[in-house]
Amino acid sequence: MVHLKSLLLTLAASVLMSSCSDKPKQAAPAAAAAGPVAPVMPAEQSAPALAKAESRVVPVGAALNIRILDAVDSELTGRGRFIPAVFDDDVMGSDGHLAIPAGTHAVVVVRDIGREGAISRATLGVFSIEIDGHSHRFSEGVKDAATLKLTEDAALGASHRSVHLEADSRLSFKVEAPLDLR
């Protein structure tokens, strides 16, 4: 039994040596001598730190420029679906100070979606945002403080068959009721 193990080890060593000798010689990195090293992966880019919100009230009429991160289609997306989103621009408070920094995470909800005759429709609302680790709801049940209504008319051609928004679409909501972010 010991002789068989010795024979197998010798055979394995000679196979390794012959496979290595066929390759051109390269300088081995110093770390290779210490043992196997995990492959080097590109460094992940960490998200930049968000600016600190100073204001706590967003006035009526303020624009909320939000980029949705999932696609929405009036023929495929269901009512009540939550869509992750992010603010593309800073939002200033009623006092002129920063209320919602660009990069803030948000959730958009599909309030109404469907088709009546040739007209496809989708109503989206800003459901909530997260600032400084705290979630703030923009919604009171089925009423949102910022909504966006979209329509498409199939009579205009095949490309207007449904309301369709690709992931990374930028939407502009208008605040319809003052938002208190305290």
CATH number at residue 139: 2.40.128.260
pLDDT score for 102: 96
Contact in structure between 130 and 136 (CB atoms under 8 Å): yes
Residue 112 lies in a domain: yes
User: Which residue is it, tokens 């012959």?
Assistant: 18
Q: What is the pLDDT of residue 54?
A: 79
Element (H, E) at 16: helix 2-21
Confidence (pLDDT) at 98: 93
CA distance linking residue 135 with residue 125, whole number of Å = 16
pLDDT (0 to 100) of residue 50 = 67
Q: Which mean pLDDT values do the consecutive 10-residue runs of the chain (182 residues) have?
A: 41 41 42 36 47 82 97 93 97 93 96 92 95 86 87 87 94 92 83
Q: Which domain holds residue 67?
A: 57-180
In a 10 Å sphere around its CB, with 0-12 CB exposed, 13-18 middle and 19+ buried, how is residue 69 labelled?
Answer: middle
Beta bridge partners of 31: none
Overall number of domains in the chain = 1
Whether residue 96 lies inside any domain: the answer is yes
Answer yes or no: is 25 within a domain. no
In 3D, which of 146, 117, 124, 107 has the Cα closest to residue 73?
Answer: 124
Q: Would you state the pLDDT for residue 9?
A: 41
Instruction: Using alpha carbons, list the distances in angstroms from residue 173 to 91, 156, 177.
Output: 12, 25, 12
- Specify if 134 maps to a domain: yes
